[in-house]
Amino acid sequence: MIDHINFISLFSPYIIDSFKNDDDFLVVLLIMGAIFFAIVVIIGVVLCLLFILFLIGLITAGILSTSVLIGIQQKSISKGFKTFFLGVSMVGCTIVAIIFFWFVNSVKEWWDTNISIFIGVFCGILVGYILGLLMFVALKKIISLLQTKYQTIRSISKS
């Protein structure tokens, strides 16, 4: 027993007293926890953004492949472009309408959240269909206008 006490008294300056250093340990632990939390949040945000980009890519590929297949099956480039414009505008307007109706509902609290999302989907599809048709008709008119101008310029330059 005496040898044990002599051993402790001999090395006592080197033994760390945990009660005296509690404040430093808690600060270091808090900093390490904050750094770990920040890294986890950054990784989570990056993973969510990658998932959203992946979904956008899948939706875009679906719209493109559908419009190409309809154009090939109907043997009409015009119908393929019409399908493309309708698909893009319906998806885009649906996303915007869902966000808009959800935001208005969260401010005004008119309906249940599910009802506001359903109304946003319905309005987005309806407005997207109308907008897609308008964009297709406008592009068709612009292309015909450019074709006539190109043909008149070409006929003037030949003569």
Query: Per-domain residue ranges for the chain?
Result: 1-75, 76-159
Residue pLDDT, tens place only, 56-108? 999 989 989 989 998 889 888 888 888 888 888 999 999 999 999 889 888 88
Alpha-carbon dihedral 51, 55, 56, 62, rounded to 10 degrees:
160
- pTM flag (> 0.95): no
Q: Which residue has 């926890």 as its token pair?
A: 33
Q: Which of 101, 121, 99 is nearest to 111 (CA)?
A: 101
Structure tokens at 74: 């109907």
Q: Residue 2: pLDDT above 90?
A: no
Residue pLDDT, tens place only, 25-68? 677 888 899 999 999 999 999 999 999 999 999 998 998 998 99
Q: Binning pLDDT at 50, 70 and 90, where does residue 9 land?
A: low
